[in-house]
Amino acid sequence: MSKFVDTLKRLSQAAPAPMGFLPSRPSPSRLRIQLLAVVAPENLDHAADFAAGADAILLPVARQSPSTKRLAQLTDTVTGVPWGGWLKGGHAGVPELVKAGCDFIIFPASHTPLTVASDGGSGKILEVEASLNEGLLRAINNLPADAVFVTNDLTEDDSLTWQHLLLFQRFASLLTKPLLVPVPYGVGAEELKALWEAGVDCVVMETEGMPPDRLKELRKIIDSLAFPSHSRREKMEPMLPRFGSEPRQVTAEEEEEDE
């Protein structure tokens, strides 16, 4: 079982504290939005520095993935912090990722064969485009994927806008799986709280060009924030059609006449 996916599921399924005098159910760990740091293969020598601030490490994997030995070194370097592979330009390196101890794999829905990431103990995170329609979003709930990563055209020079928040809220309201979204490394405390309240379980951040201490700063910000339990997985009850007219209310005068 994927450690990172297990954490995401606990966050996604955490229920608000019960009302009244019923005893509250203790949470297995403190609730907080997760931080997934994207580390390029050429920067693996500094993976330990990134792991000090992130909850998990994400390694982009192109058509030619790093060697199994190199990946095994990553596992030893970031001890205690799960790492995953992000299939960017192919899927030939998946066996090497799994063999090296990859905790989870992010793969695009649009061009990944069904045979990829179907076996093994690695978590499966489905990457989908932000333009996906409502019907396809709902269909994801029945797929054998553990979580969903929504991509958009957000760049490092951009800021999170109300449009982004609306988009993420839409995904959260239609999905029953944990939700991951990309954010710029300049994201702040209020934005992180807004994303959490919208139903986001994890933010994904590119580290390329990031100031050296930025991840550690974000770690302090996240640890200092209070993230309440959120029940974003609301049950969607069907609206049944009502036939005929409402039953007429009997007036007091009519009751007296009957007597």
Residue found under tokens 């992000």: 86
pLDDT given for residue 224 in this prediction: 92
Residue found under tokens 């592979």: 85
Provide the pairing of β-strand 202-206 with 34-38. parallel
pLDDT tens-place values along the chain, 259 residues long: 789 999 999 888 765 544 444 444 444 457 899 999 998 888 888 888 888 899 999 988 876 666 667 777 777 777 789 999 998 866 666 877 888 888 999 999 988 888 776 666 789 999 999 889 999 999 999 999 999 999 876 666 678 899 999 999 999 999 999 999 999 988 999 999 999 999 999 999 998 888 878 999 999 999 999 888 765 544 444 444 444 544 555 555 555 555 5
Provide the pairing of β-strand 123-129 with 147-151. parallel
Type of residue numbered 56: A
**Could you give the 3-state DSSP secondary structure of residue 88?**
coil
Query: What CA–CA distance (Å, rounded) separates 23 from 155?
Result: 45
Length of the chain: 259
CA distances for 58 relative to 84, 97, 122, 144, 189, angstroms: 5, 12, 13, 21, 22
Residue found under tokens 């007296």: 256
**Could you give the 3-state DSSP secondary structure of residue 123?**
strand
pLDDT given for residue 169 in this prediction: 94
Query: What CA–CA distance (Å, rounded) separates 125 from 109?
Result: 10
Report angle CA 88, 89, 93 to the nearest 5 degrees. 90
Query: What CA–CA distance (Å, rounded) separates 192 from 221?
Result: 9
pLDDT given for residue 20 in this prediction: 47
CB burial of 139-158 (b: ≥16 within 10 Å; e: otherwise) equals ebeeeebbbbbbeeebeeee
pLDDT given for residue 98 in this prediction: 81
**Could you give the 3-state DSSP secondary structure of residue 220?**
helix
In this structure, what is the dihedral angle of CA atoms 73, 74, 78, 84, given to the nearest 10 degrees? -150
**253: Cβ contacts below 8 Å, ≥ 6 apart:** none
Query: What CA–CA distance (Å, rounded) separates 258 from 49?
Result: 86
CA distances for 147 relative to 26, 106, 122, 213, 237, angstroms: 24, 9, 12, 29, 23
pLDDT given for residue 258 in this prediction: 57
pLDDT given for residue 70 in this prediction: 72
